[in-house]
């Protein structure tokens, strides 16, 4: 299937690139033949999409313009590729930006599965499953997603959820090599981010700061997989020495009595960037562990390199410059959002810039040659800081609004940020950045009795989102009502909003802009939206019935332009969708959707079947103290994934108040022996005792019994 399928594509590829007899300088059709020279000249091949953000600049913008404002009304489905859930009954999220080169689309899905498909028809060429250890689903804060692959010199690279960097053959999908990137297999590390190619190396980060890990990136030889270097983003215990000089410098910004057992955080799980001319790798770092600095580093300090942008020499792994967006980070204000490179005129000078809209709500423009702050302004409502001081580059923190040690604080933005991982786009023609913003506040409260807890979250800050429950309503008095999901067009030079388009959704998707004067974005409610790039006018709205959180891409084949997107609701929002989201109505069956002019209707997924009735729970003696204990255990270990009970449970993750008889029968084996660990339901034997499991089971039986009794009365 694999080799033969690719051979069948060769005539198409030859025609697409004019490689017929007599053509000058024919390039042999080699699967995945991307290299530095070709990617630098990406604008000479606008029909390709050769990197996560299309080119080295990572702008998520395309020069293609056959689909434009005049004809986009005829946009319809060209083909769909059904991802098919690779394991279990829960359909997971799809977050990747596909790569398209020479007629083949390469992308990744849940459980780090990689596939190559015909970009014209959607026919599968090959599929690679790295057989991820299912127990790592428990270690992932935000679903078993994967944000994409890199394709380089005939190879495809992916980071797997369970910590391996894997290289497969672009023609066949056969594994060539794999490298274990984790320094501690007991810690709660995972990988959901895409690798980055830089100077012949593959760089990969990781995630896990919510649980308590120490962030780092690792570099491997792209050809052989040989380990090259590792850069830690936060220091370890100084008593154990320093892995590289930057850690000695960073340690001076931490309390010597910091809780080093918590790891510190600073993980690199977002999209990196690389400038081959400057030979600089740009990396954004994540949030702290625990959140409150009074627990993490009691004497305070900036706590480098949390929530920072780093410029690293990819040949040596040494730091060239750094800029910290949120010194002393304690709000989950990661700086892991996508980094965009651009060359633009500012104040009459041509500048090589780096742009980022991190979670903290400020839009940053830095000189990417040296890290100098050019400007920073809020792009969403912000109350934790009044401004960013241009001279120092530091935020002017409003302690009355931001310091939640002694009392709860209503803070804009919250942990989802003013902008999360869905990529923003920069259009060099309009000069605008299109940001999928989140206008949302949270109440932050300190959690007492801090002690690092292996095997579970270690944030130690209670976070209550808007809309607030009645007993929290007083926190929001005097503050503006949040708008939630808003696509904003932002002028980076003037640092001001040009237009906005609010659209409902728990989390809407990343953004694509094109020279057809269009902006594309998907929504968690199941729409693909197309806007006028200058005015924000909604020009087209296609209902897919599948939540879209990934960014669209575009490419051209045989004279036709396509727009493609990974459709599949998931990530952190997998566990708590809203009634308005597509997953509340339809099965969350992940798929790739490709559109073209004159295309057809999008077939809707099967209707979501939810049990209106529950079976009778097992007859079992229940004890009030055990039920109360089980309720607390449910809140601590189960509620984040399984959520609430009954009519408000829209997630495909099972509602544990409606368990089938066989689930009750297996209950202890599931939690203590990992009976369903392959499917992502890991065992909890490291943190739960048999008595704990019994208490948890009694609580859930009591809830199911109440539902059953109410059902019988109807």
Residue positions annotated with a catalytic role: 332
- Enumerate the H helices of 374-500 as residue ranges: 399-402
Q: How far are the Cα atoms of 17, 19, 22, 32, 510 from residue 25, in angstroms, in the given order?
A: 11, 8, 9, 19, 37
Give dist(CA 295, CA 436) in Å, integer.
33
Q: Tell me the backbone φ, ψ of residue 603, rounded to 5 degrees.
A: -65, 135
Compute the distance between CA of residue 498 and CA of residue 513 in angstroms, rounded to an integer: 15
Nearest to 201 by CA among 312, 48, 113: 312
With a CB cutoff of 8 Å and minimum separation 6, the contacts of 280 are: 274, 311, 312, 313, 314, 320, 368
Strand, helix or coil for residue 501: strand
Of 428, 302, 413, 310, the closest CA to residue 363 belongs to 413
Residue pair 583/93 in contact (Cβ under 8 Å)? The answer is no
Beta bridge partners of 511: 521
d(CA 82, CA 546): 12
Q: Can you point out the beta strands (E) in 492-579?
A: 496-502, 511-514, 518-522, 527-532, 538-543, 553-557, 560-567
Residues, the chain: 714
Between CA 647 and CA 253 the distance in angstroms is 49
Angle of CA points 64, 68, 72, to nearest 5°:
125
CB of 209 within 8 A of CB of 265? yes
Report how far apart, in Å, the C-alpha atoms of 467 and of each of 13, 471, 474, 481 are. Answer: 52, 12, 12, 9
Those residues whose C-beta lies under 8 Å from the C-beta of residue 160, and which sit 6 or more positions away, are: 112, 130, 132, 146, 166, 191
| Distance (Å, whole) CA 205 – CA 216 | 6
Which of 155, 145, 121 lies closest to 223, judged by CA? 155
| Residue 261 Cα distances to 289, 295, 297, 387, 451, angstroms | 10, 12, 12, 34, 10
Angle between helices 690-713 and 624-633 (to 10 degrees): 100
């Amino acid at each position: 299937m694999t080799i033969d399928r690719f051979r069948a594509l060769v005539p198409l590829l030859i025609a697409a690139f004019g490689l017929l007899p007599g053509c000058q300088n024919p390039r042999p059709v080699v699967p995945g033949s991307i290299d530095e020279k070709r990617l630098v000249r990406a604008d000479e091949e606008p029909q390709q999409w050769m990197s996560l953000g299309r080119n080295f600049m990572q702008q998520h913008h395309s020069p293609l313009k056959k689909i434009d404002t005049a004809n986009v009304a005829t946009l319809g489905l060209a083909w769909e590729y059904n991802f098919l859930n690779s394991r279990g009954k829960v359909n997971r999220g799809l977050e990747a930006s596909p790569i398209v080169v020479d007629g083949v689309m390469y992308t990744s899905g849940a459980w780090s599965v990689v596939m190559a498909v015909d970009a014209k028809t959607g026919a599968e060429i090959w599929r690679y499953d790295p057989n991820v250890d299912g127990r790592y689903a428990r270690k992932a804060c935000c679903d078993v997603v994967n944000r994409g692959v890199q394709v380089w010199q005939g190879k495809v690279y992916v980071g797997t959820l369970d910590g391996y960097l894997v290289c497969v053959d672009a023609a066949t999908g056969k594994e060539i090599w794999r490298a274990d990137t984790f320094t501690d297999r007991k810690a709660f590390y995972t990988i959901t981010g895409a690798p980055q190619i830089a100077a012949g190396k593959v760089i990969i980060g990781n995630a896990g700061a919510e649980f308590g890990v120490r962030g780092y990136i690792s570099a491997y030889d792209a050809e052989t997989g040989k380990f090259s270097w590792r850069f830690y983003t936060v220091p370890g215990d100084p008593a154990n020495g320093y892995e590289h000089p930057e850690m000695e410098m960073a340690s001076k910004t931490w309390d010597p009595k910091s809780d080093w057992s918590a790891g510190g955080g600073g993980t690199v799980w977002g999209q990196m960037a690389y400038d081959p001319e400057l030979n600089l790798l740009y990396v954004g770092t994540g949030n702290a562990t625990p959140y409150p600095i009074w627990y993490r580093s009691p004497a305070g300090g900036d706590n480098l390199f949390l929530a920072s942008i780093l410029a690293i020499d990819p040949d040596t792994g040494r730091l060239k410059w750094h800029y910290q967006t949120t010194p002393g980070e304690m709000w989950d204000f990661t700086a892991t959002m996508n980094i965009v490179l651009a060359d633009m005129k500012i104040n009459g000078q041509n500048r090589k810039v780096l742009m980022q809209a991190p979670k903290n709500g400020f839009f940053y423009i830095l000189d990417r040659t040296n890290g100098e702050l050019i400007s920073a302004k809020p792009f969403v409502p912000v109350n934790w800081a009044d401004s960013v001081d241009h001279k120092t580059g530091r935020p002017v923190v409003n302690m009355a609004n931001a310091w939640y040690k002694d009392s709860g604080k209503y803070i804009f933005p919250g942990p989802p940020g003013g902008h999360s991982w869905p990529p923003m786009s920069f259009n060099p023609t309009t000069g605008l950045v299109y940001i999928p913003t989140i206008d949302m506040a949270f109440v932050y409260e300190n959690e007492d009795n801090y002690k690092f807890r292996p095997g579970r979250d270690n944030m130690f800050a209670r976070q209550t989102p808007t809309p607030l429950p009645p007993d929290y309503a007083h926190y929001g008095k005097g503050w503006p009502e949040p708008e939630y999901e808003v696509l904003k067009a932002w002028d980076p030079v003037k640092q001001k909003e040009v237009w906005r388009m609010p659209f409902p959704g728990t989390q809407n998707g990343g953004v694509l802009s094109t020279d057809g004067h269009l902006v594309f974005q998907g929504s968690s409610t199941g729409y693909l939206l197309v806007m006028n790039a200058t005015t924000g006018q909604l020009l087209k709205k296609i209902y897919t019935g599948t939540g879209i959180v990934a960014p669209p891409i575009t490419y051209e084949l045989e004279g036709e332009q396509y727009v493609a997107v990974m459709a599949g609701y998931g990530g952190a929002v997998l566990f708590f969708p809203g009634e308005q989201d597509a997953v509340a109505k339809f099965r969350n069956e992940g798929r790739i959707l490709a559109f073209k002019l004159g295309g057809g209707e999008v077939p809707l997924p099967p209707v979501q079947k939810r049990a209106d009735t529950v079976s009778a729970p097992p007859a079992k003696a229940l004890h009030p103290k055990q039920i109360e204990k089980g309720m607390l255990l449910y809140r601590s270990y189960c509620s984040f994934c399984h959520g609430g009970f009954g009519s408000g449970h829209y997630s495909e993750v099972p509602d544990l108040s409606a368990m089938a008889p066989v689930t009750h029968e297996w209950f202890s084996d599931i939690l203590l022996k990992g009976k369903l660990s392959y499917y992502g339901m890991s065992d909890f034997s490291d943190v739960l005792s048999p008595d704990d499991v019994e208490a948890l089971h009694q609580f859930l039986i009591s809830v199911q019994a109440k539902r059953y009794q109410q059902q019988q009365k109807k």
